[in-house]
Copies of this chain bind each other. A is one copy, B any other.
Amino acid sequence: MPAMTPDQLHAFMAESFPQAAHMGFRIEELDDTRIRLRVPMHDRHLRPGGTVSGPTLMWTVDCAFYLLIMGRIGPVALAVTTNLNINFMRKPEPVDVLAEARLLKLGRTLAVGDVTLFSDGKADPVAHATITYAIPTR
C-alpha cells in the first residue's frame, strides 16, 4: 500500500517544488511498484520541428521515478538522482508525454527503476530510461 496518494503527492510537489509543479503533470495511476504520469504538452517544451525537447523527456523520467519512490516511502526531500541512462528511440510527437515507471529495487540506500516514455496515443515508446536514486538512510 503506497504511503501517499496521488492527491497528496500533487500537493507535496506544489508546496516543495513549485517549479516542477508548474509543469502541470498529473499522476494517472499509482501503486507500490508502478506509476503512470502525464506531462501536458506546452510550447516551452517544444523544439524546432515540433518535437518535445530532450531535457523535457529527461525531466519527466526523473520526476516520475521520484514520485513513485515518495508514493512508496513518503516524502524524502533529500533523495537525489545518482545515475540516469536514457535511450532516445523515436521522435516525440508534439502532444502530452506519458511516463510508465517501475520500481525494480528499493534497497536501504539505493532505489532502481526503469521508465518508458510514450507520445499520447502512440503504442511505440519514444524513449526508455533506467534511473537510480540515493535515499538517505531511514
Interface residues, chain A, CB within 8 Å of chain B?
A: 16-17, 19, 47-48, 54-56, 58-59, 62, 80-90, 104-105, 107, 109-110, 112, 114, 116, 124-125, 128, 130, 132, 134
Report the minimal beta-carbon distance from A105 to chain B, rounded to whole angstroms: 4
**Chain B residues near A54 (CB-CB < 8 A):** 58-59, 62, 81, 84
- Asked whether B88 lies within 8 Å of A85 as measured between CB atoms, the reply is no
Q: How many copies does the complex hold?
A: 4
A-B contact pairs, 27 of them (CB 8 A): A19-B47, A19-B48, A54-B58, A54-B59, A54-B62, A54-B84, A55-B56, A55-B59, A81-B88, A82-B87, A82-B110, A83-B86, A83-B87, A83-B132, A84-B85, A84-B86, A87-B130, A89-B104, A89-B105, A89-B107, A90-B105, A105-B124, A110-B134, A114-B114, A114-B128, A114-B130, A128-B130
Report the bound CA distance from A82 to B128 in whole Å: 11
